[in-house]
């Protein structure tokens, strides 16, 4: 269903569509209809950013290695070969230029690089170039990996201020149960609120009805919809999927974007930055944060955990630590907070000096904090 108001979409294509047989590299089997869909979107003046998985799968057949578990160094080598083949494959599908954009989580969590990514994508689109985004698997470490291209696509959609995110996979959408196990399972055509019930349907350690591979897609949908981006999960194996999308029908599950989206900076704090530590607060502080729109001050802090520096994200907790109140950017290091926690503002200067001239010594300013219903 191409909403007439959509002017920019992010299209995510999974590895199983790029290289359905990992021993054979890239294949045209499923990509023809996807490429045609991209062309038709552009003909309708809809900008497209493609997030394409598959570099490891595309490069694997060049290596004499038949074990299922691939060592990380070899996987990076496969990605280096496969990324080039994948780009050549996509470029041959179109009569307009394509651009390779390789990202890591570090590129998106650093505010300056985040803005650079946004500006680069905009300039490519302004000049009718198709951006093809993938995680930079040849260099990414666990600390800077996004980990899956569903969530990467959601981050790209928010960076690019897209109107819609379409996740093409081997899954039709979100079901009421696992359709592989329960023949009575029904497709859920639309979701307006992503809550614990939706996550339970998406699978996890405590779920008996989850569909494999769906959880990261729901995580991606939550990231995108809180920024106002409509998100669809569709089956990329079916050619009819793209015909129905172009004809205005919904062939899968649509997660509706919020009418009152989160601000860009708060969204970045909540969904992109990774927490480096935790701050425990008392009940009075918790109420002030949740109900009064307050900033976090030292006087309400009872405990600090982890190693973090000024500018790092932290989780704010209360009680036993099971209640996550907020996530925000700390203006102090963990070492500094250990020495000033529980103190009034007037006492801080005696310990640390005037380290924030002209400030009111907020640990986390409310403009750099987002409340959490669920971690």
Around 219, how many Cα atoms within 13 Å sit in the side-chain half-sphere? 19
Alpha carbons 44 and 374: distance in angstroms, whole number: 39
Where along the chain do the CATH 3.40.1160.10 domains lie? 8-266
Provide the pairing of β-strand 8-13 with 47-52.
parallel
Alpha carbons 235 and 239: distance in angstroms, whole number: 9
Q: What is the pTM of this model?
A: 0.83
Predicted confidence (pLDDT) per residue in 94-113, tens digit: 999 999 999 988 888 888 89
Alpha carbons 200 and 186: distance in angstroms, whole number: 15
Alpha carbons 337 and 330: distance in angstroms, whole number: 10
Where along the chain do the CATH 2.30.130.10 domains lie? 274-371
Alpha carbons 343 and 81: distance in angstroms, whole number: 56
3-class SS at 14?
coil
Superfamily of structural domain 274-371: PUA domain (2.30.130.10)
pLDDT < 50 stretches in the chain: 144, 205-212, 357-358, 375
* N-terminal to C-terminal alpha carbon distance within the chain: 31
Predicted confidence (pLDDT) per residue in 277-313, tens digit: 999 999 999 999 999 989 999 999 999 999 999 999 9
Residue written as tokens 């291209």?
Answer: 149
The distance from CA 36 to its chain's CA centroid, rounded to whole angstroms, is 26
CATH class of the 8-266 domain in this structure: alpha beta
pLDDT at 116: 94
């Amino acid at each position: 269903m191409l909403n007439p108001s959509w002017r920019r979409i992010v299209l995510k294509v999974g590895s199983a569509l790029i290289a359905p047989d990992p021993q054979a590299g890239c294949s045209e089997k499923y990509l023809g209809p996807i490429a045609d869909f991209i062309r038709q979107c552009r003909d309708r003046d809809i900008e497209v950013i493609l997030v394409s998985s598959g570099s490891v799968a595309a490069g694997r057949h060049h290596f004499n290695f038949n074990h299922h578990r691939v060592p990380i160094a070899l996987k990076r080598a496969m990605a280096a070969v496969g990324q080039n083949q994948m780009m050549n494959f996509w470029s041959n599908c179109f009569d307009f230029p394509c651009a390779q954009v390789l990202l890591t989580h570090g590129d998106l969590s650093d505010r300056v690089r985040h803005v650079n990514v946004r500006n680069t994508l905009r300039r490519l689109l302004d000049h009718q170039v198709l951006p093809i985004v993938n995680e930079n698997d040849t260099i990414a470490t666990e600390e800077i990996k996004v980990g899956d291209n569903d969530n990467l696509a959601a981050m790209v959609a928010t960076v690019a201020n897209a109107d819609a995110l379409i996740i093409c996979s081997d899954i039709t959408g979100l079901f009421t149960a696992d359709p592989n196990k329960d023949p009575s399972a029904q497709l859920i055509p639309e979701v307006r609120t992503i809550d614990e019930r939706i996550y339970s349907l998406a699978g996890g350690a405590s779920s008996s009805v989850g569909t494999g591979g769906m959880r990261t897609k729901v995580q991606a949908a939550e990231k995108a919809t809180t920024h106002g981006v409509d998100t669809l999960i569709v089956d990329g194996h079916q050619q009819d999927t793209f015909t129905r999308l172009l004809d205005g029908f919904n062939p899968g599950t649509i997660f509706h974007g919020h009418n009152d989206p989160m601000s860009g900076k708060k969204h970045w704090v909540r969904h992109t930055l990774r927490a480096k530590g935790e701050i425990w607060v008392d009940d009075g502080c918790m109420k002030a944060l949740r109900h009064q729109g307050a900033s976090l001050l030292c006087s309400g802090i009872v405990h600090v955990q982890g190693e973090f520096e000024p500018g790092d994200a932290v989780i704010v907790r209360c009680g036993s630590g099971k209640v996550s109140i907020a996530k925000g950017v700390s203006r102090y290091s963990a070492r500094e907070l250990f020495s000033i926690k529980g103190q009034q503002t007037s006492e801080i200067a005696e310990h640390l000096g005037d380290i924030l001239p002209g400030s009111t010594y907020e640990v986390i300013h409310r403009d750099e904090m987002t409340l959490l219903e669920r971690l």
